[in-house]
Amino acid sequence: MARCSVGQAEYEASLQMLDINELAVGDYVLLHTGFALQKISEEEAIETLKLFDEFEAFNESLDEEEKQSGQRIV
């Protein structure tokens, strides 16, 4: 198992699907349902992290919209 951080959140991820010899602390992985599916380049990871920040902002804007309209959107 590995400890992975996604933004401010920390997850445990199984490394069962990857070759441990090819992994090191500090690497980025494609994380899905608790498993690291693929090792990815640092550039790729940073990009994904930025996307998540945007999702967060997007979700906040949806929350705001919900508050103002009084309707549930998502």
Residues near another protein (CB under 8 A) are 12, 14, 16-19, 30, 32-35, 37-38, 40-41, 43-44, 46-47, 50-51, 71-74
From the CB of 67, what's the least distance to another protein, in Å? 15
Contact 36, 45 (CB under 8 A): no
From the CB of 56, what's the least distance to another protein, in Å? 14
Sequence-ordered list of residues with C-beta below 8 angstroms from that of 63, at least 6 positions apart, any chain: none
The DSSP code sequence of 46-68 is: HHHHHHHHHHHHHHHHHHHHHHH
From the CB of 63, what's the least distance to another protein, in Å? 14
